[in-house]
Amino acid sequence: MTKPIRAARGSQLTTRGWQQEAALRMLMNNLDPEVAERPDDLVVYGGTGKAARDWPSYHALVRTLTDLREDETMLVQSGRPVGVMRTHEWAPRVLLANSNLVGDWATWPEFRRLEQLGLTMYGQMTAGSWIYIGTQGILQGTYETFSAVAAKRFGSTLAGTLTLTAGCGGMGGAQPLAVTMNGGVCLIVDVDRTRLDRRVHDRYLDEVADSLDDAVARVLAAKRDRRALSVGVVGNAADVFPELLSRGVEIDIVTDQTSAHDPLAYLPVGVDLADARDYAAAKPAEFTDRARASMAKHVEAMVGFLDAGAEVFDYGNSIRGEAQLGGYQRAFDFPGFVPAYIRPLFCEGKGPFRWAALSGDPADIAATDRAILELFPENESLARWIKLAGERVAFQGLPARICWLGQGERDKAGVRFNDMVASGELSAPVVIGRDHLDTGSVASPYRETEGMADGSDAIADWPLLNALVNTASGASWVSIHHGGGVGIGRSIHAGQVCVADGTALAGQKIERVLTNDPAMGVIRHVDAGYESAREVADRTGVRVPMTEG
């Protein structure tokens, strides 16, 4: 137990330079109680996704970053600083490798064993790579997904539709607001009342019902009136979903974001929330079996809704795989959200571009919002998002913004931000990063690379090349992780962050990184045979040797 962590604000350095300062502030920001789910345990989001392995490692990270020189690089092995190397000013200041295991050892039990020995930590995607910005990060992606659902099935609006989902945690908590931003009604189930209350406090969830009957009455009334509304209800999804199915409640869209990727973080039916952690620690194998059996019931109900005509999708938490392990055979009857809605965007190099103001001043984000609107005036859905985000999103920790930008767009925005720092239009430098859930940075056969056109779903060379090219292009910190999002054994992914400190050098690095990073996604999709990616490559000058000559 330490005192709450809060990153420094303002334009005074506490380290030897802005690249190091940015890494330090973002590490601390990840653990700010406004941002992190369980800061006392160093857990940022996504079950047990951590920013540092343990408290001695955290303090060593802070100490080392504070003293790190501009031609040095700190190496981080699963949340622990293990070396400082002499490099050069174009090199990243920090290189991180989190949660990686050799293939045959890449299982949850082996990972847990090594974690208990203090040898590794679970880095999730942006927890261990210090660019988590709270639930806004996922809100944009979730907003995009529900817009795509609306476009596909419901005449481009969710007005008059009811979405059922579960899991109101760090990521899942974005679902109710994403649905209401699209005009729809959302019923969200969580076993933990405090998770629902927290999202009401953040204005991501409108209200919490007293009982399932009360919740159903409220959402059906809103659906009838075509009024946007989100309602939370306390319960176990493996009980509530089958109950709603058997009652015949008219539900249009069904998904789920419980922490199903980790069977020790999903509450089995019949287990008290208060006992779950001790039980999982004492009898992990038994707990896993019970969690998977419950997920089988949960997914069986989702397939029931599918059979009844609802739009049903897996929201990237591996619940289909776990339900199958729990003995349910039809788990993969419904698709993952990426092949269903997101892949066309990936083909254009589009993905979750994000930035945070190191000043701590919301006015800096407002200025960057205006810059984005000026840079891309033709993009209506982007303009809608930026406007709604400005009105509805409460910042958590350092003020930050996210929007999806593609090849030829991200570099423009990054260079503009750097110019704004140089001119004093922004009061301090800005960090520019992204989720690992991006176009060319992840191999994850149950999520980002599910159902690739050429069957290359599990090929993990791409994220490794992505990390290498970002390192070679001048990113400020670069990370390679395993197991984020969908769990150990199921994904390999990479991240990068650049610091716009207003210098000419930063401008050159940003221009290269933010061109090459999304270009990895374009070439990955060209290689897999997507024609739209090939058109983007031609249009934006991305070279793909096998299509030349």
Give catalytic status of residue 347 as yes or no.
Answer: no
Name the catalytic one among 186, 347, 403, 498. 403
Between CA 153 and CA 258 the distance in angstroms is 25
Site map 286..315 versus ligand NAD, x via CB under 6 A: -----------------------------x
In the complex, minimum distance from the CB of residue 160 to ligand NAD, in angstroms, rounded to a whole number? 25
The radius of gyration of the chain from alpha carbons, rounded to an integer in Å, stands at 22
Containing 450, the helix (H) or strand (E) segment is: none
Looking only at residues 203 through 242 of this chain, which bind ligand NAD when binding is defined by CB under 6 A? 236-238
Q: Is 267 in the site for ligand NAD (CB under 6 A)?
A: yes
Comparing CB distances to ligand NAD, the nearer of 37 and 450 is: 37
| One-letter identity of residue 397 | G
Q: Would you say 178 or 526 has its CB closer to ligand NAD?
A: 178
Please identify which residue in 46, 184, 360, 463 interacts with ligand NAD, judged by CB under 6 A.
46
Taken in order 212, 333, 222, 317, the sign of the CA dihedral is positive
Q: Does 134 bind ligand NAD (CB under 6 A)?
A: no
Contact 187, 148 (CB under 8 A): no
Q: Which helix (H) or strand (E) holds 187?
A: strand 185-190
For ligand NAD, the closer of residues 361 and 438 by Cβ is: 438
- The 8-class DSSP code of residue 545 comes to G
Measured from the CB atom, the residue of 261 and 481 that comes closer to ligand NAD is 261
Q: Which residue's CB is nearer to ligand NAD, number 91 or number 442?
A: 442
Question: Token match 């210098």: residue?
Answer: 503
The interface with ligand NAD within residues 421-450 (CB under 6 A) comprises 437
Nearest distance, CB of residue 189 and ligand NAD, angstroms: 5
Distance CA 89, CA 508 (A): 12
Q: What string of DSSP letters covers 110-167?
A: HHHHHHHTTS----TTTTTTT---STHHHHHHHHHHHHHHHHHHSTT--TT-EEEEE-
Distance of CA 301 to the CA centre of its chain: 26
* Shortest Å distance, C-beta 299 to ligand NAD: 12
CA dist 393 → 72, 136, 165 (Å): 37, 7, 21
Q: Does 190 bind ligand NAD (CB under 6 A)?
A: yes
Subset of residues 57 to 96 that bind ligand NAD, contact rule: CB under 6 A: none
The per-residue DSSP string of 230-254 comes to EEEEES-HHHHHHHHHHHT---SEE
Least distance in angstroms from the C-beta of 201 to ligand NAD: 14
Distance between CA 324 and CA 320 in Å, rounded?
6
Q: Tell me: does residue 179 bind ligand NAD (CB under 6 A).
A: no
Residue 485 makes contact with ligand NAD by CB under 6 A: yes
Asked if 141 touches ligand NAD (CB under 6 A), the answer is: yes
Minimal distance in Å, beta carbon 36 to ligand NAD? 10
- Residue 349 DSSP class: T
DSSP classification of residue 497: E
| Chain position carrying tokens 């292009």 | 473
Count residues near ligand NAD (CB under 6 A).
34
Q: Which stretch binds ligand NAD (CB under 6 A): 78-86, 187-195, 246-254, 397-405?
A: 187-195
Q: Is 317 in the site for ligand NAD (CB under 6 A)?
A: yes
- Cα-based distances in Å from 504 to 328, 415, 508: 57, 10, 6
**Which span (42-50, 208-216, 367-375, 536-544) binds ligand NAD, by CB under 6 A?**
42-50
CA dihedral angle for residue 184, residue 147, residue 172, residue 337, rounded to 10 degrees: 130
Q: Which is nearer to ligand NAD, 50 or 512 (CB)?
A: 50
CB of 241 to ligand NAD, least distance (A): 9
- By CB under 6 A, name the one of 26, 30, 45, 477 that touches ligand NAD: 45
Asked if residues 439 and 496 have their Cβ atoms less than 8 Å apart, the reply is no
When the beta carbons of 141 and 176 are compared against ligand NAD, the nearer one is 141
The least CB distance from residue 313 to ligand NAD, in Å, is 10
Q: Of 62, 164, 166, 185, which lies in the binding site for ligand NAD, with binding defined by CB under 6 A?
A: 166
Q: Is 361 in the site for ligand NAD (CB under 6 A)?
A: no
Q: Residue 47 interacts with ligand NAD (CB under 6 A)?
A: yes
Q: Which of 265, 365, 536, 537 binds ligand NAD (CB under 6 A)?
A: 265
Q: Which of 170, 184, 304, 440 binds ligand NAD (CB under 6 A)?
A: 170
- Report DSSP state, residue 169: S
Report the C-alpha gap between 257 and 251 in whole angstroms. 17
Please report, for residues 147, 156, 317, 406, the alpha-carbon distance to residue 338 in angstroms, rounded to integers and kept in the order given: 13, 18, 12, 16
Report, in Å, the least distance between residue 315 CB and ligand NAD.
Answer: 5
Residue nearest to ligand NAD (CB): 169
Listed ranges 104-112, 264-272, 282-290, 522-530: which one lies at the site for ligand NAD (CB under 6 A): 264-272
What are the residues whose beta carbons fall under 8 Å from the beta carbon of 444, sequence distance 6 or more? 450, 485, 486, 490, 491, 492, 493
> Contact between 316 and ligand NAD (CB under 6 A)?
yes
Q: Does 191 contact ligand NAD by CB under 6 A?
A: yes
Rounded CA-CA distance 214/164 in Å is: 15
Q: What does the binding site for ligand NAD look like in residue numbers (CB under 6 A)?
A: 37, 45-47, 138, 141, 166-172, 189-192, 195, 236-238, 257-261, 265-267, 315-317, 437, 485
Q: Which residues are catalytic?
A: 403
